[in-house]
Amino acid sequence: MNNIKIFFIGLAAGMLVMAGAAFGYNALRNQIVWDGQKDPDAKIQEVFALLDAYSINEYDRNELLENMYRGLLDGVGDPYTYYFDEEAYALFMIQTEGVYAGVGMLVTTDTDDRIVTIATVYPQTPAERAGLAPGDKILAVNGIDVTAHKLEEVTSMTKGKPGTKVTLTLYRPSEDYKFDVDIMREMVSIPTVSHTMLEENIGLIRIEQFDRVTLEQFITAYSDLTERGMRGLLIDVRNNPGGLLDTVTQIANLLLPRGVITYTEDKHGERKFYYSDGNHATLPLVFLMNENSASASEVLCGAARDLAGCTLVGAKSFGKGIVQNLYNLSDGSAVKITVAKYYTPNGICIQGEGLIPDYAVEVDREKALRAGTLPYGDDAQLQKAVEIMREKMNH
């Protein structure tokens, strides 16, 4: 852990994002070949001409175009490929810094109904003061039904200028209760890492997501536990939706022995490898994951098991083994495109499959969504991880 170099590189949170060149629309346009088909710009002008001449409905050209771009990328059939308008892109990039104007909650997509669901409510935030709770499902934002919206679209809608109000329509399954709540946005600093010392000097570090600020927060947590005499370390990435590939590989580099952490492969078969340099922690490690641990979380857990033989405890992970790049367009908007698959050091791509834990500890959905916030006595997965760590420390 000595001589740690911190590099804050990356593009987005809530997914696995690989740093790459961003090409403006104008730079690419001259390279586009339409395979004998009509240039779509001409067709769009024809449609607008017909609307101008005959439509009895008022419309906004810019709004129509924005919806067209969204629909174009929806047509790819990939839930991770989509369009950001200029405002949404700006908010999205701010979020990766770990500080943004919003309500203070971490959300995930329910694997059963695909509805965006609250995973974590951060303390001392508008979300906590408004009484939001893990497991609450977001049905609408400012009266707009979002049950079919993608995760990043919903999170962007909840953000805005400090001091502005957002109205959320929520459903709480545990109480079969639907309700509206008005929340005033404010600047929120995301605590992506928390830590504590358990009995027998077992350290516990919980990582909520992999943002730009996460590496520094992780180093602070690790250093504090080390100074307090930590003998073994539990890493909890339950309900962690992912984040920046560079951040997670940097954290893996601090924990794991020399070798390949992960590698990506693009459509041309070209591979990019991420390595650990061997300057790593020598403590016993156990990792906690569940069905909402996705993307960068799975990179970390997969590398830990393949490279260091670490034990995984909890439930089968989400199964997102693909990587996205963000490409900024010339007008300030952007598109996010799936550009590669990633593989564990043993060459396994878990896309659609997930990682199987070494010790499966099944819990009900409510407790799964509250993982990391449950009292120790109610957290069967954490108790199992502690049991395994005791065995490792005593050998």
Active site (catalytic) residues: 295, 306, 320
CB neighbours of residue 88 within 10 Å: 20
Q: What's the CA gap between 314 and 289, in Å, rounded?
A: 5
The helix (run of H) or strand (run of E) holding residue 94 is helix 86-95
SS3 of 304, please?
helix
Q: Which of 248, 340, 337, 255 is nearest to 299 (CA)?
A: 248
Rounded to 5 degrees, φ, ψ at 239 are 65, 15
Structure tokens at 208: 């909520």
Structure tokens at 113: 């109904």
Contact 261, 249 (CB under 8 A): yes
Q: What's the CA gap between 320 and 78, in Å, rounded?
A: 12
Task: Calculate the alpha carbon distances from 322 to 295, 299, 343, 354, 388 in Å.
Answer: 7, 10, 9, 12, 31
Q: Which of 241, 244, 265 is nearest to 320 (CA)?
A: 241
Rounded to 5 degrees, φ, ψ at 273 are -105, 145
Could you tell me whether strands 177-184 and 271-276 are parallel, antiparallel, or unpaired per DSSP bridges?
unpaired
- CA triple 133-135-139, angle to 5 deg: 95
Q: Which of 103, 121, 99 is nearest to 168 (CA)?
A: 103
